[in-house]
Structure 1
Amino acid sequence: SQALLSRRKLTTPILDKIHEEGVMAILRATKSISSPRLHASYYSTGFNPSIRRMSTTNPIARVKSLDHLVLTVKDIPTTISFYEKYLGMKSTSFGSSSSISPPAKRYALSYGTQKINLHQLGAEFEPKAKSVCPGSADLCFVSDTSVDQILMRLREEGLEVLEGGEVVERTGAVGKLRSVYIRDPDGNLIE
Structure 2
Amino acid sequence: MISHIDHLVLTVSDIDASVQFYQRVLLMEAVTFANGRKAMKFGDQKINLQLLGQERRNKAGVGSGDLCLISSWPLEDVVAHLSKEHVDIVEGPVTKSGALGAIQSVYFNDPDQNLIEVSVYE
TM over 0.5: yes
C-alpha offsets along residues 79-99 of structure 1, whole Å, 9 cap, x if unaligned? 00011111111110012xxxx
1:78 is aligned, of 9, 14, 17, to 17
Hey, what does 2:120 align to over in structure 1?
none
Distance 2:39 2:96 in 1: 28
Unaligned 5+ runs, structure 2: 118-122
Question: The residue matched to 2:69 in structure 1 has which SS?
Answer: coil
Structure 1 segments, 4+ long, off by >6 Å, are none
Match runs of 1:30-179 below 5 Å: 62-95=1-34, 104-122=35-53, 124-126=54-56, 128-129=57-58, 131-163=59-91, 166-179=92-105
Residues 11 and 61, structure 2, Cα contact 8 Å, conserved in 1:
yes
**What TM-score comes out, normalization by structure 1 length?**
0.58
Kindly report the root-mean-square deviation, in angstroms, between the aligned alpha carbons of the 2 structures: 1.3
| Structure with a larger share of its residues in helix | 1
Mark the structure with the bigger radius of gyration: 1
Aligned length: 117
Higher RCO (CA 8 Å, separation ≥ 6 residues): 2
| Structure with a larger share of its residues in strand | 2
Q: What amino acid sits opposite 2:20 in the alignment?
A: S
Percentage of identical aligned residues: 40
Unaligned 5+ runs, structure 1: 1-61, 96-103
C-alpha offsets along residues 65-123 of structure 1, whole Å, 9 cap, x if unaligned? 1111111110000000011111111110012xxxxxxxx3211111111111111223x
